[in-house]
Structure 1
Amino acid sequence: MKINQDYDAIIVGSGMGGMSAGAMLAKDGHKVLILEKAHAPGGCSSSYFRKGYVFESGATTLIGFDEDQPLWKLEHETGIQIPREEITPSMSVWIDGEQLTRYKNREQWIMECVRVFGNEKAQRAFWEEAFKVSDLVWKVSLKNPHFPPQKLSEWGELMTNNNPLDVWVLKYAFQSVADTMKKYGVDTHKFRRFVDEQLMITAQAKSEETPFLFGAAGLTYTNYSNFYVPGGLLEMINAIRSFIQNKGGALHTKEGVEMISREGEQFMVHTKSTRKEKFTYRAPIVISNIPVWNMKDITAGEMSEYFQEEAKDFDEAWGAITLGIATDDVYPKELPLHNQIHLEDGDTIPFTDSDSIFVSMSKPGDSVRAKEGMRTLNISTHASPELWYSMNGSYETAKQQAEDFIVKVLREKLPGFADAQIEVIHTATPVTWENWVYRKKGRVGGIPQSMARSLLKWTPHETPFKGLYLCGDTTYPGQGIPGVTLSGINVYSRIKKNHH
């Protein structure tokens, strides 16, 4: 067995958390190897090619480039330039036959809420509080790379790194978004439906379950700069990949990690490629960017027991049903690229508990993603992995019924779609997702927010095994591209501290 010892750090999985950690280490001169089992890098923030079109891994928005946000820091520190164009307004929400436009301008957004939900004084008070909390959360989270604290010294850092005047925000770790809505008098049925569906995209949970500390950022993300990556999110991953390769690192796709074991101060990482070739690498540092649920299967002994224990608390998580559709471009010019469509009150998509669908479209004229005169649409909605894994004989029928229902909703509610000719359509369920990105049970989007889980109960970035670190959406601070980027930056800070 030939052992490759060329690398200072090995990263398992090429999602945005691992890519960010890799880029930060590469800028300091560390030789990094990233191992990815799938055909394309990027995990859930990637693109794939199908029948002449480029589709995104799921319907998704992109923020985090404003000052004090994680992608701003990543670019700032490394000099990487992620190709992007700002889009404004970033999104429309279609609810009860009405279009609610998510303006970036905060005053304009408050007035839009007043137009649709009424009650100006209460709406203004609620949103002003949400902006205040969200701005502070972004600023504070970037300033505290060793969170959640794991050592006495890190508790000390929390005291010295932060302004004592910011402590007021912590009460919102114990108050849900629903509590805060009641407090400000905006808890109407229609507004709650709107808030619940927005939170399902950003927090994977509804207003009762999401602490306002996280929910504020989840509700106001459209009030920061939102971006589109021409050619698809894979181009963002490729920009980071080039940087790492130029610094002597490497990214191998179609090479999955089968086992991580320890040998003295070093880790042995055993892999198998899709061509059935086996490789072994040795390095003092390993960063896992795969979900905590997957880790017990690729570790043994104490390590495996640790991950089994960590994953036990988070046995509930969402999967997704996603559709990729290519149609001719018959959409109104002013239609935003992102649209959240509510079903009729009380309706759900078959074989899901989902009350809304989220649509992300390619930009008109993006000739990498769609040929001239055509557009691609990515549609996502939440689904229970357990249900889709228990279908057996009825799986194909259920999948077709979900697809037909979603297409019918688009024809009724997405402007222009009723006149569109569908050239390509394919549907993926949690089962498909597990085959694509190898996440256990096809769970995507991390761990749902929960009032029962305190800030300190998040899976930490540092494990009890010296040199083994975790990032990605099942660690603090959770899901979304800015969230996982922050987790990668935090892992880098820990490594810098522990392995000077």
Structure 2
Amino acid sequence: METQRVQVAVIGSGFGGLTAAALLAKTGMQVAVLEQNNYPGGCASSYKRKGYWFETGATTLVGLDEDMPVRYLLEKTGMQLPLLKLETPMQVRLTDGTLITRYPKLEDWIQEAERVFGKQGQRQFWEACFEISQKVWRTSLQQVSFPFGSISDLWQAAKSVKVEQLSLVPLAFQNMKDFMTTHGLLQNERFVSFVDQQLLITAQNVHPEVNVLFGATALCYTLYGNYYVPGGLRQLGKSVASYLEEQGSQMMYRRLVKQITPVSEGGYQIDTDKGLVQAEYIIFGLPLNNVSSLFNDLKTKQSLQKYLLPADQVNGAVTWGIVFERSTSTPTVLHHQLHVPGGVPYIQSESVFVSLSHPEDELRAPDGMCVASVSTHVLHPKKNWIEQKKVLEQWAVKFLAGQGFFKEAQVKFVQAATPGAWIEWTGREWGQVGGYPQYQRIKPWQMKDARLDGRKAYLCGDTVYPGQGIPGVCLSGIIAANKLLRDHFKEGLERLHH
């Protein structure tokens, strides 16, 4: 079989890889995206069952506000996305039944937080969090050389540095436990429980481990524009894939990458299940654990070893797809976090996240029907192998019916998926989801730089800095593309920025 030759190979079509691919294609580079499935998107995609479209992982789109990564991508490429802005991003129900509305305006949200948790410390805490989050997003697109991997990175950072960026540095050494203590909130058990479950959505860990830079930003994502994508988040990946093809690049579906070999004359040989691909440059949009397993180059594997997290320090997920008849009692808010009294059976996670299809979205479900995508964290997925799918399906229906989402008789279809399904869908080791959790011992600059091997291989996705949630993985793709261009194709970098 003849070897295919490409200039840039992007391995995996998650949103980080697609972002990097689109930006490189805009500069005139020839890009080929190798994807093991027959559609793009990775963990920000959708799958079809019984004629309905369910979300694979991510369910809401954030990142379109000023100074945010998805907006940057759309402005640079001119892509248009079909979007519906949500009036109310989310509601949260505590174990005692208290309903909390995550209003999109800061003042409205502070008043709601004070109503539920008491006035002590709430205003100061949330105003501080929001101010930090704004600084973080402003900094993120100004400092695309961070984490630093070369003298050139340091020089670029020095040229771009602003005083407000320096004020963020101490917050990388402070965790959310310290931050809540400062505001007199650590003894407020209901509030701490609320914060922990909210942090799990975007930082994959709880308050003693998440630093203030990530934590404050994670807690404020409902205070930025939250969007619904008609037809499901698969439309996001499809839009970028279409843009790539318009630029003369290509999507190579059903291509399972089996091994990567650096070649002596430069570039890389990529062994796939459908033959060989030769690439001058590679960008990986895969989790670090998967990337390490693909290289047969001992030096590269050893250099990555210190960045890898073991199975007991990552999360898997159990997800449910539920189809039910809409009624007057169906919630109008689409996204919900429900705290579970006593925890989810067999899993012991403390909350589930529920996303409903929009009532006007007949691409996902016909008129009168609703699709619910439900998920919960599974700690240590290698050890906690969940096999009680039928029992969990029955539990989910009863629990959501008890929360008022529907009556059990209205449910037409339910299917649970365990971390094993994530392995099948995405190939991610142990079925890990949501990227690497934040850990206090790992400072931002100790996370993996976008340069993979010091040669012509780069890295993006949810297990590298910054990498969590759609805005994070998009930013990781922006950083990878910028570093590749600055290292090897400065003309292209000028084209991208002008």
Give the AA of the match of 1:442. Answer: G
Give the AA of the match of 2:130. Answer: F
Secondary structure of the residue aligned to 2:93 is strand
1:72 aligns with 2:71: yes
1:56-455 equivalent positions in 2, closer than 5 A: 56-58=55-57, 60-95=59-94, 96-119=96-119, 122-187=121-186, 188-263=188-263, 264-272=265-273, 278-301=274-297, 302-311=299-308, 316-330=313-327, 332=329, 335-344=332-341, 347-384=342-379, 385-389=381-385, 395=387, 398-413=388-403, 415-418=404-407, 421-455=410-444
Q: Distance in 2 between the 1:420 and 1:118 partners?
A: 39
1:14 aligns with 2:13: yes
Distance 1:312 1:383, change over 3 A: closer
Deviations 1:418-453 (A, max 9, x none): 366111111111011101111011001100001110
1:46 aligns with 2:35: no
Note the C-alpha offset of 1:370: 0.4
Q: CA RMSD in A?
A: 1.6
Q: Distance in 2 between the 1:40 and 1:129 partners?
A: 41
Deviations 1:111-138 (A, max 9, x none): 010111111x511000000001000001
Note the C-alpha offset of 1:315: 5.8
Q: Distance in 1 between the 2:208 and 2:44 partners?
A: 28
Give the AA of the match of 1:379. Answer: V
Q: Distance in 1 between the 2:302 and 2:50 partners?
A: 43
Contact 1:331–1:416 (CA under 8 A) maintained in structure 2 = no
Distance 1:312 1:64, change over 3 A: closer
Give the AA of the match of 2:221. Answer: Y
2:457 corresponds in structure 1 to 468
Q: Distance in 2 between the 1:141 and 1:370 partners?
A: 37
Deviations 1:60-86 (A, max 9, x none): 321000010000000011101122110
Alignment TM-score, normalising by the size of structure 2: 0.94
Deviations 1:189-232 (A, max 9, x none): 00011100000101000111111110011101000000000000
Structure 1: gaps spanning 5 or more residues: 273-277
Give the AA of the match of 2:153. Answer: E
Q: Distance in 2 between the 1:312 and 1:179 partners?
A: 25
Structure 2: gaps spanning 5 or more residues: 490-498
Note the C-alpha offset of 1:313: 6.8
Note the C-alpha offset of 1:400: 2.4
Secondary structure of the residue aligned to 1:40 is coil
Contact 2:241–2:251 (CA under 8 A) maintained in structure 1 = yes
Note the C-alpha offset of 1:330: 1.9
Count of residues in Structure 1 that have an aligned counterpart in Structure 2: 484
Q: Tell me whether 418-427 or 243-252 shows the greater mean CA deviation.
A: 418-427
1:456 corresponds in structure 2 to 445
Give the AA of the match of 1:381. Answer: T
1:275 corresponds in structure 2 to none
Percent pairwise identity: 38
Note the C-alpha offset of 1:175: 1.3
Contact 2:330–2:406 (CA under 8 A) maintained in structure 1 = no
Q: Distance in 1 between the 2:193 and 2:409 partners?
A: 29
Alignment TM-score, normalising by the size of structure 1: 0.94
Q: Distance in 1 between the 2:410 and 2:374 partners?
A: 17
Q: Distance in 2 between the 1:59 and 1:355 partners?
A: 19
Contact 1:265–1:284 (CA under 8 A) maintained in structure 2 = yes
Q: Tell me whether 359-368 or 417-426 shows the greater mean CA deviation.
A: 417-426
Give the AA of the match of 1:52. Answer: G
Note the C-alpha offset of 1:465: 3.9
Q: Distance in 1 between the 2:346 and 2:143 partners?
A: 41
Q: Tell me whether 239-248 or 164-173 shows the greater mean CA deviation.
A: 164-173
Contact 2:171–2:212 (CA under 8 A) maintained in structure 1 = yes
2:496 corresponds in structure 1 to none
